[in-house]
Amino acid sequence: MRKAIYAGSFDPLTNGHVDILKRGLEIFDQVILAIANNPNKKHFFDVKERIALAHQATQGLEHVVIDTFDGLLVDYAKTKNATALLRGLRAPSDFEYEFQLAMMNRRLAPQLETTFLMTGEEYFYLSSRLIKEVASFGGDVEHMVPQAVYKALQVRFGGGQT
């Protein structure tokens, strides 16, 4: 089984993330959306909320597993018998950082390949940070994030109800 790990904080999950996930499913038999749980980092949504939102956003997608991990991604990937790490690239500026990560991961776990997918042109400008900032000022992000995330952002910023 060709199993990939698509890891990130997904705080929050965007339509760009979902696009990479769907396209990853065309390459791999299973993709694990692995939500990083770093207790030293301040997150907008806690890990339980991010897991719940990811489950809602991926309903109907077969062969997707939602999980969380602590520590090194390569160690987590070994426990899941993954053969690849799936990463999305938005702009050329992403490449340098992602290349460094891929080389470090290769050094730590040579059996793991990193697969890069370019984000679809309609999503290349999206980032979780930008989504949170726009939403915090009442901007309309409805078509930039899954519906569950949109509703959670509205509740968090006082523009909606649970």
Whether 87 is catalytic is: no
Alpha carbon distance 70, 53 (integer Å): 19
Q: Which residue among the candidates 42, 90, 106, 132 is catalytic per the annotation?
A: 90
Q: Which residue among the candidates 9, 17, 43, 107 is catalytic per the annotation?
A: 17
Whether 17 is catalytic is: yes
Mean pLDDT by 10 residues, the chain (162 residues): 96 96 97 92 93 97 97 96 95 87 96 94 91 94 96 86 46
Instruction: Read off the pTM.
Output: 0.93
**The pLDDT of residue 41:** 84
Decide the pairing of beta strands 64-69 and 84-89: unpaired
| 53, 81 contact by CB (below 8 A) | no
Quick one: fold of 3-124?
Rossmann fold (3.40.50)
Query: Which residue's entry shows tokens 């930039």?
Result: 144
Please name which of 60, 70, 62, 76 lies closest in space to residue 31, comparing C-alpha atoms: 62
Q: Which amino acid is at 114?
A: T
- Residue ranges covered by each domain of the chain: 3-124
Please name which of 76, 145, 130 lies closest in space to residue 108, comparing C-alpha atoms: 76
